[in-house]
Amino acid sequence: MSKFDSLIIGEVAQDTNVDYDGTVVKAVGGAVYYSGFAAANMGHKIAVLPKANTRDVDMVAAFAPAENITVYPIHSETSFVTKNVYFTPDRERRNSTVDSVIEPYRTEEVPAEIDAAIWHLAGLVAGDITDEMIPFAAQHAMVAIDVQTMMRHVVDGGMVLKDWETKKEMLPYVRFLKTDAAEAEVLTGLTDRVEAAKLLYSWGAKEVLITHNSEVLVYDGKDIYTCPIKARNLSGRTGRGDTTFATYINERLTCDIPTALKTATALVSLKMETPGPFVGTREEADAYKAEFFA
């Protein structure tokens, strides 16, 4: 058996990003990509199970710059292909269009030899990872899920947020739940992030993390923890939530909530200052934390 801190399941994306100033960049992306780099470069041993058309995307090469990652590529006849147009320098306003999506993950595609403490379900749109994957994952590890994979629906080439209809059946299987502020509002009907986190916990998620452009919030059923984001610029805004969540859940294997939250928020603040995934070191992240999060 192969022993990992986390197994991250999700497709790589073939992204075209158009910045507010008209700059066009084509890149590999996706939650599995940003999550894998962040966790691995912080020193965690990571397995990734990316899915794409292997004739178009070399998934092993995509993750090669990050040490501590073992890649188990899965072929899909179709890949996730998207275009993101950003309207503001902070990248908070964007329009995303989707040209194609992957064939859904199946439980039998997960290699039996993988042994991981956490299974991190990190799809990009509804249908990538079906509900059946959640109890299946819970049989093997602690389940972490980025709820975007259940809520973002492709409609006429665009992405629309819709409620996760089976949330109350599935959330009891979930150890770590990640949403952003907009997703939390759709899930719960609440604009107050603290109250939304408490409601999501009451539905079964054991630890709820909600990202916002100003802070990261965690609720464990007892206390609310928050940490402000302190990035000096936002040129690397893409992948913010993925970087935060992957760092947080892997740090939680050995740290308490406040420590893991501060490390994750410091890391994402640093990462947001440079486009692309986090390619630095733990030492660089610790130095940034010591300077800005003392």
List pLDDT tens digits, range 175-184. 999 999 999 9
The secondary structure element, H or E, covering residue 81 is strand 80-86
Report d(CA 11, CA 130) in Å as an integer: 13
Tell me which residue of 263, 161, 146 sits closest to 205, measured CA to CA: 146
Report d(CA 197, CA 193) in Å as an integer: 6
Q: What's the alpha-carbon Rg for the chain, to the nearest Å?
A: 17
Amino acid in position 94: R
Q: Characterize the bridge pairing of strands 158-161 and 152-155.
A: antiparallel
- Three-state DSSP at 288 gives helix
Tell me which residue of 83, 76, 95 sits closest to 11, measured CA to CA: 76
Mean pLDDT of 138-167: 96
Question: Residue ranges of the alpha helices (H) in the chain?
Answer: 31-41, 59-63, 133-138, 148-151, 167-170, 181-188, 193-202, 240-251, 257-271, 282-292
Measured CA angle at 69 (ends 121, 14), to 5 deg: 60
Q: Give all domains of the chain, ordered by start, each with its CATH number.
A: 2-292 (3.40.1190.20)
Tell me which residue of 294, 270, 287 sits closest to 37, measured CA to CA: 270
% of the chain exceeding 90 in pLDDT: 81
pLDDT in tens, 157-213: 888 999 999 999 999 999 999 999 999 999 999 999 999 999 999 999 999 999 998
Report d(CA 193, CA 275) in Å as an integer: 28
- Higher confidence at residue 67 or residue 119? 119
| Contact status, residue 70 vs residue 2, Cβ threshold 8 Å | yes
Q: Is 31 exposed, middle or buried (0-12, 13-18, 19+ CB in 10 A)?
A: buried
Given a cut of 70, whether residue 1 has pLDDT beyond it is no
Q: What pLDDT score does 148 carry?
A: 96
Mean pLDDT of 247-257: 98
CA dihedral 105, 107, 109, 113 (to 10 degrees): 140
Beta bridge mates, 9: 49, 121
Residue 30's pLDDT band, with cuts at 50, 70 and 90, is very high
Residues 6+ apart with CB under 8 A from 185: 191, 196
